[in-house]
Structure 1
Amino acid sequence: MDKLLLTPEEAATVLSIGRSKVYELIGDGRLASVRIDTSRRVPARALAEFVDRLQEQHETSRAG
């Protein structure tokens, strides 16, 4: 079974960005996350949704 929740560090690896950028995206509300007690986790589906939004923005900007 694939992981449903990833640490911010794991999410950063999947997205090929830095850990601090993941926290920035979470803080800006651009990347969904959940808290389990004091731990922050990023739902795997949130990564796919984030990438989908990036692709849509790119396609919209290219259509001009």
Structure 2
Amino acid sequence: MLESCDDLLTAEEACEVLKIGKNALYELLGAGTLKGFRNGRVWRIPKQAIVEYIKAQAKLS
């Protein structure tokens, strides 16, 4: 699924990829568990941050 995504994902796209709700995503971003940045009021999440988060949660690395 990530192959078809841009290098920067919106909050909605990240929720789709991770299969979580917006509140859960914003909690991860706020805690720093998932890396991202704000562009004005809009969150942008790098695709690589999603990959690293999944690997960390699955204890793959």
Same fold, TM-score > 0.5, yes or no: yes
5+ long unaligned stretches in structure 1: 60-64
- Choose 1 or 2 for highest CA Rg: 1
Aligned residue number for residue 44 of structure 1: 47
Aligned residue number for residue 33 of structure 2: 30
Amino acid in the other structure paired with 1:3:
D
Q: Residues 22 and 53 (structure 1 numbering): CA distance in 2 closer, same or farther, change over 3 Å?
A: same
Structure 1 outlier segments of 4+, above 4 Å: none
Bigger relative contact order (CA 8 A; separation at least 6): 2
5+ long unaligned stretches in structure 2: none
- Select 2:11's aligned residue among 4, 8, 11: 8
The structure that is helix-richer by fraction is 1
Provide the aligned length of Structure 1 versus Structure 2: 57
TM-score by length of 2: 0.81
Indicate the RMSD between aligned Cα atoms, in angstroms: 1.7
Whole-Å Cα distance in 2 between the matches of residues 54 and 2 of structure 1?
A: 21
